[in-house]
Amino acid sequence: MSTLIVVGYDDMTKAQQMRHDMVMLEKEYLVDMEDAVVVVRDLKGKVKLHQVVSLPALGAMEGGFWGTLIGCLFFSPIFGMALGAATGAMSGALADVGINDNFMKELGETLKPGTSALCVLIRQMTADKVLEHIAGSGGKVLKSNLTMDQEAKLQEALDHAQKEHAAATTVGANA
């Protein structure tokens, strides 16, 4: 079973930074992510989803390849590529893998303008190391399918990181 963790941040860039950090953890084989999407509600209140992979673009590329190949068999590679790319883009746009887009858009509507959230769907992880890394980022757990104890521990760690950051900022401002 996959683990869903959604952490909200008070600015529009922190979720993007955390997704980058999660990708780095994936390269270290500490986490295997199925999907990682940043939801941003800009200052005008518009919700934007920043996905790792553009499914329409990926579908167009695959469709273009197969269309060209089939088109070569029928002596019309250009027409085959165009038709394959269009079909692939359309099927990619209709496909919804990973975290449901409607869920993320609804979640984005609940965010305050000028904030963001990181939605991560995890297949497997080294829980203590990954959750420790997420906890160090500050933020607030908005949704998860963690147990209540696990979610409470994660939120406690997030709160602790925010308090440390606030204390460091206050000390730096007074110096």
Mean pLDDT of the chain: 76
User: Residues of the chain with pLDDT > 70: what percent?
Assistant: 66
Spatial contact of 102 and 109, defined as CB atoms under 8 Å apart: no
Boundaries of every domain in the chain:
3-52+102-174, 55-94
pTM over 0.85? The answer is no
For 8-66, the pLDDT digits (tens) are 999 889 999 989 988 898 899 998 888 889 999 999 999 998 886 544 444 555 655 55
For residue 2, the Cα-to-chain-centroid distance in whole angstroms is 14
Q: What was the pLDDT predicted at 114? A: 93
Region 118-126 average pLDDT: 88
Q: What was the pLDDT predicted at 58? A: 45
Q: What was the pLDDT predicted at 126? A: 86
Region 110-117 average pLDDT: 92
Indicate if the pLDDT at residue 87 is higher than 80: no
Give the contacts of 159 (CB within 8 A, at least 6 positions apart). none
Tokens of residue 9, six digits:
């941040």
